[in-house]
Amino acid sequence: MELVFLAELAVNGAMTGLLYSLFAIGLVLIYKASSVPNLAQGALTMLGAYVVLAFADGLGMPLWVAIPLAAIVMFGLGFGIERVALRRLAGRPVIMILMMTLGLDIFLRGTTMAIWGATSASMELGVSYEPLFLGDLFISRIHLVGSIVTLVLFGAFMLFFRTRAGIKLKAIADDYTASWSVGISVERGVGLSWALASVVAVAAGVIWGEIQGVDQSLSLLLLKGLAVAVLGGLDSILGAVVAGIILGIIENVGANFLDPLVGGGSRDLIVAAVLILTVMIRPHGLFGRHDIERV
Amino acid sequence: MQEKPEVEPILSMNSVEVLYDNVMLAIKGVSVQVPRGEMIALLGSNGAGKSTTLKAISGLLKTERGRISRGEIRFEGADITEMLAQKRVERGICHVIEGRRVFEHLTPDENLTAAAPGGMSRAALHAEKEKIYAYFPRLAERRNSASGYLSGGEQQMLAIGRALVTQPRLLMLDEPSLGLAPFLVAEIFGIIQKINREEGVSILLVEQNALAALEIVSEGYLIENGRVVMHGTAEALKANSDIQEFYLGGGEGTDFHNVKHYSRRKRWLS
């Protein structure tokens, strides 16, 4: 096995992993405010991609107009979900909220199916499929673009959580009642986290839509996104990024060795193993917070 | 509008009843007045309804599926009985809830930032923080460490400081002395007194530590079984023999061998 080949597997794996991170950031944003993994994040991502296509193909807009417009629509949708589906659940057991996200997932998938049908549409970003050579390494351009988008969003959110609105959101994640007691609008904060996660879903939908086409299978990203979010610690954006890179590398390099042995399909096994081991060995993930206990 | 605004209490709560889950009556017609600029204590034993009374005033009942089923609450003349908790904070009522409840994963500095009202400018927030750190120098030293690791006393100070950022005109404190060493209780009560005098903030204090509370307030209400059973000036309450026996741990020279067993019932409960 050549070292260059191994490096190429690792680098491309890391970039694929960053695309999982892009998805997982949305999960983390919602987990922070609602304390549940959003099972509808896959459906939101798919919807985000369809909305972009509706503006681009349906109304003939260029993508650089369609994508921001879709982001605005999805931002509003996130607030709408809080208002209609989640507000009355505030203060109820989190299992209710989890079930609500499952309901939303089914609802959103059903709705997109009804509107846009089951045939796959393509997202033409205009990124060349010509390989990019970095020294001896062969690199996929669209994955590189996606990685850059992930890192830019990551930076933006790190800055956001230092602003006053971001700090209020962190306070909500800590304690609803204490937040209410000092006049923080928990409802608006939860709505904002859903709105931001929906915007992230547009970004993930566009990149993943370009890679694998826009259809119902986009919603299946949820499983890998969840594995990444859990490994990262569910409430840490930094964790989501680092865990994505790690999982991407393990998956790509591991599958290269295992696939010949088991005859393919080992990628999913590796992801499952990582998820199961994380929960068993380190339940709060790499960077997740655990409850503070003073001694 | 009012003819004599100076005599109108900043808060008046009239015959308020609170129901939890639509069935459990937690307080049964409680009336409490807080005169502007004064410090008032609500005394009583565990489960008497003191915390429920504060939650009825701050609007936090909703989070525990409680609601006001009768009576009304007026703050600075306006009816706030049905108002959202957030609006009450905007109007100037802030409730330091029981058990400190600081934002543990945030630093003290972030805790203060989180409580900033929507329209507060950056400079005003900074000035407000400096003022709070002057009240609580211990917090200033630890302003950038995780609040979950502060000591109990420091967390209580942070909870009070966080409430001050909301610019309250009525500050309600639920058991600020709970679980703290006596010298810390003295320090915190001293600061509460200072806030009352220097900032003119009216204060409604819930305490089980009646002895400490009656030293600093002007009036007290005794609540038992969801009702106000006694109301008077701090001096009158301190002199009352029942209060001495049940809440102040015996009067001067009480010989516990001679306290007759049958008299050791709170007669007003029946």
pLDDT tens per residue across span A231-252: 999 999 999 999 999 999 999 9
pLDDT of residue B269: 63
Burial B160-170 (b: 16+ CB within 10 A, else e): bbbbbbbbbbb
Share of chain B above pLDDT 70, in %: 89
pLDDT of residue B241: 80
Other Cβ atoms less than 10 A from the Cβ of B118: the count is: 11
Chain B nearest-CA distance from A175, in A, is: 7
Do residues B163 and B116 touch, judged by C-beta distance below 8 A?
no
Residue type, A35: S
Q: Which of A179, A181, A235 to mutate to test the interface with B (most CBs of B within 10 A)?
A: A181
pLDDT tens per residue across span B198-211: 999 999 999 988 88
Do residues A154 and A237 touch, judged by C-beta distance below 8 A?
yes
Burial class (CB in 10 A: 0-12, 13-18, 19+), A285: buried
* Distance in angstroms (rounded) separating the CA atoms of residues A112 and A44: 10
B119 touches chain A (CB under 8 A): no
Token readout for A39 is 């099972």
With CB atoms and an 8 Å threshold, state whether A174 touches B116: no
**Which value, to the nearest 10 degrees, does the dihedral of the CA atoms of residues B208, B211, B214, B216 take?**
-100
- Alpha helices (runs of H) in chain B, residue ranges in sequence order: 50-58, 85-91, 108-114, 122-135, 137-141, 152-165, 182-199, 210-216, 234-239, 241-246
What are residue A51's DSSP bridge partners?
Answer: none
Chain A nearest-CA distance from B166, in A, is: 7
In this prediction, residue B62 has a pLDDT band, given cuts at 50, 70 and 90, of confident
- Structural Rg of chain B based on CA atoms: 19
With CB atoms and an 8 Å threshold, state whether B85 touches A180: yes
Share of chain A above pLDDT 70, in %: 98
Secondary structure (H, E, C), A172-195: HHHCHHHHHHCCCCHHHHHHHHHH
In this prediction, residue A292 has a pLDDT band, given cuts at 50, 70 and 90, of low
pLDDT tens per residue across span B210-252: 888 999 999 999 999 999 999 999 999 988 887 877 777 654 5
**Which residues of chain B are within 8 Å of residue A168 when distances are taken between CB atoms?**
114
Q: Which helix (H) or strand (E) holds A280?
A: helix A266-281
Q: Which residue of B has its CA nearest to A235?
A: B105
Burial class (CB in 10 A: 0-12, 13-18, 19+), B24: exposed
pLDDT of residue A293: 54
Least confident of A97-106, A109-118, A257-266, B226-235: A257-266
What is the arithmetic mean of pLDDT over B13-37?
93
Phi, psi of A134 (to 5 degrees): -110, 95
In chain B, the largest separation of any two C-alpha atoms, in whole Å, equals 63
Examine the pLDDT at B253 and tell me if it is beyond 60.
no
With CB atoms and an 8 Å threshold, state whether A180 touches B86: yes
pLDDT tens per residue across span B3-12: 444 568 999 9
* Residues with Cβ within 8 Å of residue A91, at least 6 apart in sequence: A176, B63, B64, B65
* Distance in angstroms (rounded) separating the CA atoms of residues B138 and B150: 10
pLDDT of residue B208: 84
**Which residue ranges form the domains of chain A, and what is each CATH number?**
3-119+129-281 (1.10.3470)
Q: Least CB-CB distance to A168: which of B104, B114, B151?
A: B114
Chain B nearest-CA distance from A193, in A, is: 16
**Which residue ranges form the domains of chain B, and what is each CATH number?**
11-250+258-269 (3.40.50.300)
Predicted-complex ipTM score: 0.88
Examine the pLDDT at A228 and tell me if it is beyond 80.
yes
With CB atoms and an 8 Å threshold, state whether B149 touches A292: yes
Examine the pLDDT at B262 and tell me if it is beyond 50.
no
B107 touches chain A (CB under 8 A): no
**Which residues of chain A are within 8 Å of residue B166 when distances are taken between CB atoms?**
182-183
Q: Which of B21, B84, B98, B113 to mutate to test the interface with A (most CBs of A within 10 A)?
A: B113
Q: Which of A164, A182, A187, A234 to mutate to test the interface with B (most CBs of B within 10 A)?
A: A182
* Distance in angstroms (rounded) separating the CA atoms of residues B94 and B199: 14
**Which residues of chain A are within 8 Å of residue B162 when distances are taken between CB atoms?**
182
Examine the pLDDT at A52 and tell me if it is beyond 60.
yes
